[in-house]
């Protein structure tokens, strides 16, 4: 019978190799955290609010240009009023989402703090 000349790895080598593989897997899977749903909603609302603001500014420039008939001028003022109301609506929704997110964060902190106290 022939003797096997292969070296049997000891426990330290096995643990070292496993730890090294785990580190490599962790570094590959470490991706930036996705934004929360509330963050996405707020950013979309801010974009819409900014777009409404830009349209309002363009309409105001048309009013100032003095190239509109009286009827067009009145209609433009009404449209600017509606756009301002829409922009304010976006702002109130943004504030409500931020307030809700802050409330959720605080309740999470209170729950984790409560768990620390009870333990």
Nearest to residue 41, comparing CAs of 101, 117, 106, 111? 101
Report the pLDDT value the prediction gives residue 63, as an integer from 0 to 100.
86
Specify the pLDDT at position 67: 86
pLDDT at 34: 44
Residue appearing with tokens 């301002």: 84
Q: Which residues of the chain have pLDDT under 50?
A: 31-35
Tokens of 53: 């603001």
Express each pLDDT in 50-78 by its tens digit: 998 899 998 888 888 888 899 998 998 99
Residue 119's pLDDT is 55
Task: Determine if the pTM surpasses 0.75.
Answer: no
pLDDT recorded at residue 85? 94
What is residue 6's predicted lDDT score, i.e. its pLDDT? Answer: 54
């Amino acid at each position: 019978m022939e003797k096997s000349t292969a070296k049997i790895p000891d426990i330290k080598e096995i643990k070292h190799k496993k730890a090294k593989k785990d580190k490599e897997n962790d570094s590959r899977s470490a991706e930036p955290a996705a934004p929360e749903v509330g963050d996405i909603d707020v950013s979309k609302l801010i974009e819409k609010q900014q777009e409404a603001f830009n349209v309002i500014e363009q309409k105001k420039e048309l009013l100032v240009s003095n190239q509109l008939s009286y009827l067009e001028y009145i209609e433009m003022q009404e449209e600017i009023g509606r756009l301002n109301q829409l922009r304010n609506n976006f702002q109130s929704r943004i504030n409500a989402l931020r307030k809700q997110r802050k409330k959720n964060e605080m309740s999470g902190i209170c729950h984790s703090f409560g768990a620390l106290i009870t333990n």
